[in-house]
């Protein structure tokens, strides 16, 4: 094929060369009529053209070769030369043929109204409708039953919550009643203690008055018996009175006491008796927060107060301490 192409490509070159030769011959025939100058010019042009012709030939050969290759490739592509041929197995064709041959022939059924059993059909329709109605009714009953269960459950929860709330209220009421009873009991005990304290206070005051009267009587008897008093005793008494006056002036009117205890709750009689056993001259008072306080006093001397304080501490009253306050404050605390 390449040789044929070369031959085909050479044929046009021959034609071109023949045409050129014919032209040259024509020109040579006309040379006789043209002047010699024109002949020389034509000869020079001819020589130039003959020099350019080999390049054109080479280009034409290349172009023709490429075009021929392109045409051959297109022809082969369209003819399917580059595609792979898929051979279908003969078995598939045989199976297809066998399946087409084995398909059964379907006989056409001719429908006739006379063959219909209307009664049976009506019974079946009635049973179907009844079944549908029964199913709908059953679903409705189930829905109503579920709603009823939900309502009953919610009602039961509300009743339980209400019951729990009522139980809590009853417990709170019982607690309030118990608290009220305890407060009333404490109030009654405080009233009894107050009355007992007033009674003890009255007894103490009576005892103090009787002791003062007895002291006065003994002093009067001693004065009546002793007509002559020594000057030394008079001097001692005068010095003692001066010391007392100086102490009162130093204290600026403050009275001397011992705070035995401060009762935050209930004052029990057993505790009060233990205080009275040490010294019966106990005084019941109340502070600004209405708490019960036990005092001894007022004392005339620091020695007497210190001695009684030591006795209290020795008997377990370690919280007892000395203090001083005015007569007005004493009246507000104790003479209420």
Which among 69, 62, 74 has a CA at the least distance from the CA of 9? 62
CB 257 within 8 Å of CB 324 = yes
Provide the pLDDT confidence category of residue 2 given band limits of 50, 70 and 90.
very low
Which among 219, 222, 223 has a CA at the least distance from the CA of 211? 219
Average pLDDT of 138-157? 89
Instruction: Report the alpha-carbon distance of residue 102 to residue 91 in Å, rounded.
Output: 16
Number of continuous H segments (helices) and E segments (strands) in the chain? 8, 4
Would the pLDDT of 205 be above 60? yes
Q: Mean of the per-residue pLDDT values for the chain?
A: 72
Provide the pLDDT confidence category of residue 310 given band limits of 50, 70 and 90.
very high
pLDDT at site 56? 82
Q: Is the pTM of this model over 0.75?
A: no
Which of 227-256 are b and which e, b meaning 16 or more Cβ less than 10 Å from the residue's Cβ? eeeeeeeeeeeeeeeeeeeeeeeeeeebbb
pLDDT at site 118? 67
Average pLDDT of 118-142? 75
DSSP run (H or E) holding 326: strand 321-326
CB 297 within 8 Å of CB 286 = no
Q: What is the architecture, at CATH level 2, of domain 253-336? A: 2-Layer Sandwich (3.30)
Domain ranges of the chain: 2-73, 137-215, 253-336
Provide the pLDDT confidence category of residue 137 given band limits of 50, 70 and 90.
confident
State the first-to-last Cα distance of the chain, in angstroms, to the nearest integer: 151
Q: State pLDDT tens for residues 45-64.
A: 666 665 556 788 888 899 98
Helix, strand, coil shares of the chain as percentages rounded to 5?
A: 75, 10, 15
pLDDT at site 31? 45
Question: Residue 274: CB partners within 8 Å, gap ≥ 6?
Answer: 315
Would the pLDDT of 256 be above 70? yes
Question: Residue 313: CB partners within 8 Å, gap ≥ 6?
Answer: 320
The helix-helix angle for 269-278 and 118-225 (nearest 10°) equals 20
DSSP-derived secondary structure for 163-202: HHHHHHHHHHHHHHHHHHHHHHHHHHHHHHHHHHHHHHHH
Q: How distant is the alpha carbon of residue 312 from its chain centre? A: 61
- Among residues of the chain, what percentage have pLDDT more than 90? 10
């Amino acid at each position: 094929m390449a040789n044929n192409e070369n031959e085909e490509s050479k044929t046009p070159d021959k034609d071109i060369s023949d045409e050129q030769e014919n032209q040259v011959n024509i020109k040579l025939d006309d040379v006789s009529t043209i002047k010699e100058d024109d002949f020389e010019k034509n000869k020079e042009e001819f020589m130039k053209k003959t020099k350019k012709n080999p390049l054109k030939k080479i280009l034409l050969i290349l172009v023709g070769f490429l075009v021929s290759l392109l045409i051959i490739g297109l022809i082969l592509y369209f003819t399917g030369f580059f595609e792979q041929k898929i051979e279908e197995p003969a078995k598939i064709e045989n199976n297809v043929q066998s399946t087409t041959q084995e398909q059964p022939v379907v006989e056409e059924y001719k429908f006739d109204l006379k063959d219909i059993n209307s009664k049976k059909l009506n019974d079946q329709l009635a049973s179907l409708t009844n079944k549908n109605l029964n199913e709908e009714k059953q679903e409705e009953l189930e829905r109503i039953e579920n709603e009823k269960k939900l309502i009953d459950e919610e009602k039961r929860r509300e009743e339980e919550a209400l019951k729990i709330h009522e139980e809590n209220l009853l417990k709170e009421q019982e607690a309030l009643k118990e608290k009220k009873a305890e407060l009333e009991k404490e109030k009654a005990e405080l009233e009894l203690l107050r009355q007992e304290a007033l009674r003890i206070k009255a007894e103490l005051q009576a005892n103090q008055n009787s002791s003062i009267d007895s002291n006065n009587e003994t002093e009067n008897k001693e004065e009546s018996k002793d007509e002559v008093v020594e000057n030394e005793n008079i001097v001692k008494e005068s010095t003692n009175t001066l010391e007392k006056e100086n102490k009162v002036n130093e204290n600026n009117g403050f009275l001397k006491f011992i705070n035995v205890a401060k009762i935050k709750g209930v004052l029990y009689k057993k505790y009060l008796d233990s205080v009275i056993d040490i010294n019966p001259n106990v005084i019941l008072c109340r502070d600004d927060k209405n708490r019960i306080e036990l005092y001894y006093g007022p004392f005339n001397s620091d020695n007497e107060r210190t001695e009684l304080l030591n006795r209290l501490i020795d008997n377990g009253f370690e919280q007892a301490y000395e203090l001083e306050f005015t007569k007005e404050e004493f009246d507000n605390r104790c003479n209420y």
